[in-house]
Structure 1
Amino acid sequence: MHDHNGHHPHHHPHHDHDGMDEDPRHSFTGRKLEPPKVSADMTVTDLIKFYGLTGYNARRLAEAAEILEDMINTNSTVCLTLAGAMTPIGMGRTISAMIEAGFIDWIVATGANVYHDLHFAYGLPVRQGHFDVDDDVLYAKQIVRIYDVYIKELETLQAQDLLVQKDIKERADEIPKNASTADIAYALGKAAKENSRHPEKSFLVKAYENNVPVYMPAIGDSSIGLNMLPLLFEGKGVFPNTILDVAESAAILWKSEKSGGLELGGGVPKNFFQQTGPALYQILKIKEGGQDYLIQLTDARPDTGGLSGATLQEGKSWGKIKTSHRGNVIVYGDSSVYFPLLCSYALSVCKPRKQKQIYAKKDGWVEEMKKIYFANKSGNKKSGKRL
């Protein structure tokens, strides 16, 4: 396998007797480039192999496929991060297929991706629309637009709002009083499983069925958060503690022998997942290392200083990944194109895994982690070490 810098990940730079750098990136030792043949009816696996013999982002996608395969086959704990509006265009069932195969163990999403996923379970109207339009006209017709997707203001959004509010109110006794956003997502998934007409169309239902926790760390920046506003005024419902999200996500990394992520876009989901390394190393001082594998699909640039475009290697300086030299790749382009290809490839070449059932274990892990934190703190005080 070659990493995204075009050199074999196990080759490390060293100097020869003349003091010249022998980094293989600076030598003519790469695979001979032979134009591959395209053929009729190529499978996704064939296409990924084809890409691997070429260059640019086609080759990066083939590297991402190899890393994903490695992640799954080494029984790594795999996190999917969801930024951008993936569910309104119908990606929910693709996520569900990966959950069912045991290839996704936990999810970090924008609240929007959870909210729009539920439209399909409840059979609320979502249609293909157009992007070159007059939005004042759409507003007058009560049509809401996500680029080239149309949603109805009353029949979809406001209908969904009532369902979300009702489900959180009615299930307040089932949700822990000190709840993470994964506890809110679990309750919404359970409600959709029990009450919706098409539960099979929702990744949130599939996550509920397989104990896959779904975190929404920026829950206030979404319709899920907006729907908690009436509950706040009425003094009803349960309001999540997002710092508990920080604890639970750190505990997942702490309990994982190997860990990795498939990041769709950047934003809060990307960083929330990647900051689990610093949470354990910098803050709790329990475990060093960060993630073993990282794949990001993005169109964001690194030179503007935003986290969305930050290179994965940069994360090594923060302790977010084990090494910047291998096991990570950024594929530049559109997640809506790349994600289904990667999923189909994984489903083709990897055997299904037993689900890790992390939702059922997370609370116990946090309690264990808390005990270790206090034991370390007490030990440091007794030994006179500065914290």
Structure 2
Amino acid sequence: MAMAGKKPTKAELTSVPIEHLDLTKTQSVADLVDGYKRISFQARTLGTCASVLENAMTDPQCTLFFGGAGALTPGGLRKVMRDLVEYGLVDVVVTTGAIAYHDFYEAHGHRHWATDPETDDMMLREHFLDRVYDTLADEDLFRECDDEIAALADSLEPRPYSSREFLEHMGKIASKDPNSLVGTCYR
């Protein structure tokens, strides 16, 4: 464990032994994740994260932020992100525009599709399909969403808008879909 300001001794560096996971003493997923805290690599990280989450969820003064980046919506985590908001598991959502955009796209009934990550991009282009690694979306439907967002922007009073304000307007539209993250944040 890192110690700020001083060089640790050998005894300090070797003070926390690895405790081998004993599945015969594991009765639940909670037991398993708790056991992860005492083993190595990403299992320990997962166990630590579970402890942080448990502490946050039981602290009435805690404000929980969800920070999302990457292709989480096309990757299949849209409802998970929505549920975090719907069930009050997070207080603040901070995401990239792509997460909100793909959510808006799906709020219109459009889908993402699985594909092989080696699918030929030129062939996909011929079909107006966009690829995010191993996931596809319809470019024509993206353009429909783009047009709707442009019309929304044109309908607003001309002034600067924060991303939160603009997403509120998008959320009003997306709220027709009960599985929409942006719509749930709006509601």
TM-score range relative to shorter protein? 0.7 to 0.9
Query: How far apart, CA to CA, are the structure 2 residues paired with 1:23 and 1:136?
Result: 58
Identity of aligned residues (%): 24
Is 2:157 aligned against 1:206?
A: no
Cα distance in 1 for partners of 2:98, 2:135 equals: 14
The amino acid across from 1:179 in the alignment is Y
- Code of the aligned partner of 2:185: A
What amino acid sits opposite 2:182 in the alignment?
Answer: L
Task: State the match for 1:186 in structure 2.
Answer: 168
RMSD, matched Cα: 2.9
Q: Deviations over 1:184-231 (max 9, x none)?
A: 1111001212xx4xx12211111111xxxxxxxxxxxxxxxxxxxxxx
Taking a change above 3 Å as real, the CA distance of residues 120 and 38 of structure 1, as seen in their structure-2 partners, is: farther
Q: CA deviation at 1:101?
A: 2.5
- Report if aligned partners of 2:34, 2:47 keep a CA contact under 8 Å in 1: yes
> 1:166 offset after TM fit, Å?
2.5
| Runs of at least 5 residues in structure 2 that lack an aligned partner in the other structure | none
After TM superposition, list the pairs within 5 Å mapping 1:1-387 onto structure 2.
5=1, 25-28=12-15, 30-31=16-17, 33-37=19-23, 44-74=29-59, 75-154=61-140, 156-170=141-155, 172-173=156-157, 177-193=159-175, 196=176, 199-209=177-187
- Kept in 2: contact 1:13–1:24 (CA 8 A): no
Residue 167 of structure 1 and its aligned partner are, at CA, apart by: 2.8
- 5+ residue gaps, structure 1, are 210-387
| Higher normalized contact order (CA 8 Å, seq sep 6+, divided by chain length) | 1
8 Å CA contact 2:21, 2:35 repeated in 1: no
Distance (whole Å) between structure 2 residues aligned to residue 160 and residue 39 of structure 1: 52
TM-score (norm 1): 0.43
Separation in 1 of the partners of 2:8 and 2:120? 58
Distance 2:112 2:131 in 1: 10
SS in 1 for 2:186: helix
| Corresponding letter in the other structure for 1:200 | P
Aligned residue identity for 2:165: D
CA-CA distance at 1:161 after TM superposition = 1.0
Report the Cα distance in structure 2 between the residues aligned to 1:122 and 1:138, rounded to whole angstroms: 22
> 8 Å contact 1:167–1:191 — kept in the other structure?
no
* Structure 1 residue 72, shift from structure 2 partner: 2.7
Aligned to 2:161, what secondary structure does the other structure show? Answer: coil
**What is the CA deviation profile of residues 96-116 of structure 1, one whole-angstrom value per residue up to 9, with x for unaligned ones?**
111123221212211111100
Please report the TM-score for the alignment, with normalisation by the length of structure 2: 0.84
**In structure 2, what is the Cα distance between the partners aligned to 1:185 and 1:44?**
37
Structure 2 match to 1:368: none
CA distance in 2, matches of 1:115, 1:76: 29
**Are the aligned partners of 1:71 and 1:78 in contact in 2 as well (CA < 8 Å)?**
yes
The answer to whether the 8 Å contact 2:37/2:44 transfers is: yes
Partners of 1:204 and 1:134 lie apart in 2 by 32
1:49/1:132 Cα in 2 relative to 1: closer, same or farther (>3 Å)?
same
* Alpha-carbon separation, structure 2, partners of 1:119 and 1:43: 38
What amino acid maps onto 2:83 in structure 1? A
1:75-125 C-alpha deviation (Å, 9 max, x unpaired): 322221122111111212111111123221212211111100112211013
Map Cα deviations across residues 155-182 of structure 1 (whole Å, 9 max, x no partner). x211211222233333x14xx9442111
Aligned 8 A contact 1:14 1:23 in 2: no
Deviation of the 1:39 alpha carbon: 9.3
